[in-house]
Amino acid sequence: MSRTVGVREFRQDLADYIDQSEPVTVTRHGHTVGLFIPVRPDRKAEVGAYAEAVKKANALLAELGVDEDEVVAEFDTARKAKQKT
C-alpha cells in the first residue's frame, strides 16, 4: 500500500521516506506528480565491495612503497594549498 503526501511534506521529510520500505505517492495541488519507491541496498554486497577496494588500495600502496600516513600528509598539503587560492 502506498502513502500519499504533498510535495512540500515529501521534501521536508525525505530522509524519513528513504528509510521506509513502502512507496510514497507525491502530489501537488491534489494531482499525482510522482511516485517514490525506496530501494533496499544489499548491505552484504556493499561491504564486500568496500573490502575488495581496500585490498586493492593497500596492494597499490605497497607496490608504490607508500604508507597511509604519507597519503594523508600529501592530501593535507594539497588541501591547504587549495585553501590559499
At 39-60, the pLDDT tens digits run 877 888 888 888 999 999 889 8
pLDDT of 4 reads 95
CA–CA dist 8, 31 (Å, integer) = 13
β-strands 31-36, 24-28: how paired?
antiparallel
CA–CA dist 67, 65 (Å, integer) = 7
E-state strands within 8-66: 24-28, 31-36
For 3-36, CATH gives 3.40.1620
* Residues lower than pLDDT 50 in the chain: none
Q: Count the Cβ atoms, other than its own, within 10 Å of residue 26.
A: 19
